[in-house]
Amino acid sequence: ELEDEYEAISLQYEGFKFSVQNDSLLYKLENERAKVLRLQEELRMTKASDQAEIKRLKDELSTLRKVLRSYIHQIDSLNRLNEELRAENQQITRQYKETSRTLTQVSQEKEELSEKVSLAAQLVATNIAVKAVNNRGREQSRLSRSSQFVVSFTIARNITAEPGERTIYVRLMAPDGTVLSKSPSHTFPYENREILYSMRRIVEYGGEEIPVTLYWDIEEYLMPGTFKADIFADGHHIGTHSFTMEE
């Protein structure tokens, strides 16, 4: 019977090896199990008539049970602590993810607001008109009688736009897609590249509407058809207008 009890307690110590991750406690358990194995060996060597030795071994068994109960309590405490730490870690992870999502959302909203403010601050060209005139300033419908294109428009009122000096660019495009320009060096930045302009004008903008007129001297042969005038400012396309000329 005593040998069975030692075997049972030995198996209990052996079983704890797989549930304990604390190195210090595992070391103590290994020592106690070694003690159990040693006592088991002593029990096998003890004669049934040796009552004094059997009593000593029973006392040792009682002590081992107390130690085992103490270790069970420590293991339970550690397991509870691990569960609490695991739950706390999961909560922290959830909070971190929620905070990250919130920060991402705030960043996106800030970016969207910035884009809206930037869009609201853009200049807009209105009342765009293009006409061809002869040397006397009279409007013409035929290219053969025209010496100049006159491009006029109004920069609309915009109190959200930053006041100051602005460079306005106009691109005149012929029916064949050619951009009219006096020099290949007449370029300006637009959408990460340099593009040709036909005319430009520097204006002082204070938030109120301002009229702008630019002139293009016709010095080249132009095919009849539909022409296009595009207006740019601050890196943005702010207006467009098409017009048709006869030969």
Instruction: Tell me the pLDDT band of 110, cut-offs 50, 70 and 90.
Output: confident
- Write down the residue that tokens 């991402």 correspond to: 104
Does residue 200 have a pLDDT over 80?
A: yes
The 10s digit of each residue's pLDDT in 158-194 is 888 888 999 999 999 999 999 999 999 999 999 999 9
The 10s digit of each residue's pLDDT in 77-91 is 777 887 888 888 888
| Same domain, yes or no: 167 and 85 | no
State the CATH number of the domain containing residue 199: 2.60.40.10
Give pTM, 2 decimals.
0.56
Boundary residue ending a domain (97, 118, 139): 118
Does residue 21 have a pLDDT over 60?
A: no
* Residue 56 pLDDT: 76
| Same domain, yes or no: 112 and 176 | no
Instruction: Tell me the pLDDT band of 68, cut-offs 50, 70 and 90.
Output: confident
Residue 112 lies in domain: 2-118
Number of domains in the chain: 2
Boundary residue ending a domain (83, 118, 153): 118
